[in-house]
Amino acid sequence: MKNQQRETFSSGLAVFFATLGSAVGLGNIWKFPYMIGANGGAAFLLIYFLCVLFVGLPIMVSEFYIGRKTRKNVIGAMKQLKPNSAWKSIGVFGIITAYLIMFFYTCVAGWVYFYVFKAIKGDFSGVTVESSKAMFGAAVVGPISPIIWQIIVLTVVSAILIMGVQKGIEKVTKTLMPVLFLLIIICDIRALMLPGSSEGLKFLFKVDFSMLTKQSILMALGLAFFKLSLGMGTMVTYGSYFTKDNNLINTSVKVALSDTLVSVLAGIAIFPAVFAFNMKPGAGPGLLFMTIPLVFSKIPFGNILLVLFFILTSIAATTAMMSILEVLIAYFTEEKGLSRKKAVIFNAIFIAVIGVLASLSADSSSILGNIKIFGKGFFDLFDFVSSNILMPIGGLLIAVFMGYMVKKDEIRHELSNHGTLNIDWAINLYYFILRYIAPVLLIIVFLNSIGILKF
């Protein structure tokens, strides 16, 4: 009975925008540019692209399969596919990872919302290297304002999710994703009109392998995972809302390509300006919050540009957080019998309470900045454990499960929509990469990230 009432997205377009909304997030605008900056530009982009192809895509298709075939939350789905087995752990890891990511992601998103507000107030006009640094420090260290912004973020995401799959997730992503594209293109055009912008473009697009280290390959793979929201059931959960005639392989390819396009467009908005003002491209995580305000404020009409830029970043962060929280909501409504509203409110409050630990430990001079667990503060610990341990393990388990525990005929049946799609070659290719390439790469990355294998 419950399953019959389950909502789905209303069309293929809705599926595309919702899924893209999950993929496009702080990863594109915050992580991607600083990683490209630190790893020598286009060569890193190329490696990233291969990681998407050989690991990202097969895992994404697999998650969609698990979700749409069972039409259940991540734990329910695994229980249905392999009752009473340890494979349920894929779901359990997913739930834990979803919490860990939310704890720190809502904190960073809070800074972004705050920066929209500051940009509108005109706080960045005439900003200098020192004042930009000081402003970011104040925004992060708080202690009250980051917590308040984190709660505002959670309230916005919760309000959208309470409205449901179609009226909430679908409607918001269908409206905001095109807006995001438009805003990023406006920022790009402005950036390209700057004198000296070609330096930045050269940096982004000229392939120079000498800057690449083995470490950058591992970073590229981790980034591909984080970027495509993989390894923790987000795509299982969204897949469970897909229409039955959706071509899962096709959707995965379109989402991965569009997501990469957004990352590259973000790079085009950022690097020409960075080079035009002789700033360093490898500024690290501070690139978004310190370098961008500094650089954009020097451009004519730069203040408006800053407002647009931080609005687009907050759209990206918000639609991504919706998809992480939805993993938890689907679980609590379906497995624990909570109403949607209760599930959202309960989880939002829980995330706010623990998430405060992230907000209060984001910088070494934060109130809890000196508390270290395994040598890391809370903020870094949440990020590290989720991105470097649980997500690769989750991805590996999914690859092994799909590649070796599910019959190929069943996979072919579901991916071809019961034989209505004539895409055997794509299914075969997917199956080959899934069985023989993705798991090997994932094991290497995982062993390296926990320090067993040293490069």
Residues forming the site for ligand TRP (CB under 6 A): 22-23, 25-28, 101, 226-227, 229, 232, 234, 320, 323-324
Give SS3 for 244. coil
Nearest to ligand TRP of 22, 132 (CB atom): 22
Closest distance between ligand TRP and the C-beta of residue 388, in Å?
12
Give SS3 for 373. strand
Give SS3 for 376. strand
Nearest to ligand TRP of 135, 154 (CB atom): 154
Using alpha carbons only, give the angle 99, 100, 101 rounded to the nearest 5 degrees: 95
Nearest to ligand TRP of 187, 256 (CB atom): 256
Cα distances (angstroms) measured from residue 165 to each of 71, 207, 347: 13, 42, 17
Nearest to ligand TRP of 173, 297 (CB atom): 173
62 closest CA partner among 415, 388, 393, 331: 415
Closest distance between ligand TRP and the C-beta of residue 386, in Å?
7
Q: Within 13 A of 16's CA, how many CA atoms are on the CB side?
A: 16
Nearest to ligand TRP of 23, 273 (CB atom): 23
Closest distance between ligand TRP and the C-beta of residue 327, in Å?
8
Residues in CB range of 379: below 8 A, 6 or more apart: 104, 107, 357, 358, 359, 361, 362
**61-74 burial code (b ≥16 CB/10 A, e <16):** bbbbbbbbbbbbbb
Give SS3 for 143. coil
Closest distance between ligand TRP and the C-beta of residue 30, in Å?
8
Closest distance between ligand TRP and the C-beta of residue 188, in Å?
19
Closest distance between ligand TRP and the C-beta of residue 436, in Å?
25
Q: Within 13 A of 273's CA, how many CA atoms are on the CB side?
A: 26
Closest distance between ligand TRP and the C-beta of residue 425, in Å?
29
Residue type at position 311: I
Residues in CB range of 343: below 8 A, 6 or more apart: 328, 329, 332, 333, 336
Given a contact cutoff of 8 angstroms between Cβ atoms, the answer to whether 32 and 227 are in contact is yes
Nearest to ligand TRP of 22, 252 (CB atom): 22
Region of residue 83 (phi > 0: left; psi between -120 and 50: alpha; otherwise: beta) = beta
Closest distance between ligand TRP and the C-beta of residue 355, in Å?
15
Nearest to ligand TRP of 124, 289 (CB atom): 289
Nearest to ligand TRP of 65, 431 (CB atom): 65
